[in-house]
Amino acid sequence: MEMSEAKLDGNAIAGLLREIFTMEMTTSETTCAGCGSVSVVGRVDVYLNAPGVVVRCPSCEQVLMRIVHGRGRYWLDLRGTRCLEFVAPD
Ligand SMILES: [Zn+2]
């Protein structure tokens, strides 16, 4: 994962994350960190492996995301995603 020049803590993206997770996710586009292909999230490969979800690149099968939900929390591993692109709300 690329590091930015200025190191900020999670509070810096709290508002951003709140926006993202109230938005329609399936129309966003994810860029695979492995092969560079861009996929609409609604078209990626998803595996429901309890207790989590594994999302894979439809082109090269690299893991794009791991999402675990439990004990009142979410864990989101995006190391396989180079970029997530969303359409801004009106
Ligand atoms: Zn890929």
**Alpha carbon of 86 to ligand 1 centroid (Å):** 19
Query: Does residue 3 have a pLDDT over 50?
Result: no
Q: Tell me the C-alpha to C-alpha distance, in Å, between residue 53 and each of 27, 61, 66, 72.
A: 18, 14, 6, 16
- Say what the pLDDT of residue 8 is: 61
| Containing structural domain, residue 18 | 10-85
Q: What does the block give as tokens for 24?
A: 């329609």
Is 5 inside any structural domain? no
Is 1 inside any structural domain? no
**Alpha carbon of 27 to ligand 1 centroid (Å):** 18
Is 4 inside any structural domain? no
Is 20 inside any structural domain? yes
Is 47 inside any structural domain? yes
**Alpha carbon of 34 to ligand 1 centroid (Å):** 5
pLDDT digits (tens, 9 = 90+) for 15-71: 566 665 677 778 889 999 999 999 998 888 888 876 788 888 999 999 998 888 788
Q: How confident is the model at residue 4 (pLDDT cuts 50, 70, 90)?
A: very low
Is 2 inside any structural domain? no
Is 90 inside any structural domain? no
**Alpha carbon of 35 to ligand 1 centroid (Å):** 4
Using a CB cutoff of 5 Å, list residues around ligand 1, an ion.
Answer: 32, 34-35, 57, 59-60, 62
Global pTM reads: 0.74
Is 75 inside any structural domain? yes
Contact predicate 28/64, CB 8 Å: no
* Structural domain count, the chain: 1
- Say what the pLDDT of residue 2 is: 45
